Copies of this chain bind each other. A is one copy, B any other.
């Protein structure tokens, strides 16, 4: 089954940025890079059944959405700097509401959260990951459709963003008894899904 992950980067900049300051002037782009790495990479390989979506809401031209398609990605390493370089390249493209290809497997558009979810709800069951949700360990036993998991960055989702997500989400799921970083949540989702489908 396919797996999708979407993160909202509330401060992530929408123009090319310095690779030497991902956590600062790039608006916590480091969080998004780690999110991508944990969604796509296993040891010595990439998960072909994964799509990653980033919603960038930082200055100067929000919103911008980036899509990364695991089965198309060719030149990506799991370190933050390498992934950031690919995002920076995508941000150099003049974009509109349609997906435009930047490098292999990486696309960019001007979609906002609602437009992204309108597109994704046809192909995925939308799942909102939040600490107060139901235990993922029970949830994975009942999955009958490809799921897209939505997470916030270090700031979480705003009330308005959460309202939109809840309009589309059929489930609110928790991955841990303690509050974790977004990329750690992705590792746990993969782990529980791997166990339920491979073991």
> Chain A residues in contact with chain B, CB under 8 A?
19-20, 22-23, 30, 34, 37-38, 41-44, 77-82, 154, 175-181, 184, 187-188, 190-191, 194-195, 198-199
With A22-B79, A23-B79, A79-B30 as contacts: A198 and B178 at CB distance below 8 Å: yes
**Additional 13 contacts, C-beta under 8 A, given A38-B184, A178-B198:** A19-B20, A20-B20, A30-B79, A30-B81, A41-B181, A44-B154, A80-B80, A176-B194, A177-B195, A184-B187, A184-B190, A184-B191, A187-B187
User: What is the copy number of this chain in the assembly?
Assistant: 2
* A43 & B179 in contact (Cβ 8 Å cutoff): yes
Q: How far is the CA of A38 from the CA of B187 in the complex (A)?
A: 11
Q: Note all chain B residues with C-beta closer than 8 A to A79.
A: 22-23, 30, 34, 80
Contact between chains at B23 and A77 (CB < 8 Å): yes
Chain B residues in 8 Å Cβ range of A44: 154, 179
What CA separation (Å) do A181 and B77 show in the bound complex?
12
Q: Are B194 and A191 in contact (CB under 8 A)?
A: no
**A187 CA / B187 CA spacing, docked (Å):** 7
Residues on the B chain within 8 Å of A37, using CB: 34
In the assembled complex, how far is the CB of residue A178 from the closest CB belonging to chain B, in whole angstroms? 6
Q: Judging by beta carbons under 8 Å apart, are A177 and B194 in contact?
A: yes
Instruction: List the B side residues contacting A188 at CB < 8 Å.
Output: 187-188, 191
Q: What are some 28 contacts across the A-B interface (CB < 8 A)?
A: A19-B20, A20-B81, A23-B77, A30-B79, A30-B81, A34-B37, A34-B79, A38-B184, A41-B181, A42-B178, A42-B180, A42-B181, A42-B184, A43-B154, A43-B180, A78-B181, A80-B80, A176-B195, A177-B194, A177-B195, A177-B198, A177-B199, A178-B194, A184-B187, A184-B190, A187-B191, A188-B191, A191-B191
Cβ of A94 to closest chain B Cβ, rounded Å:
28
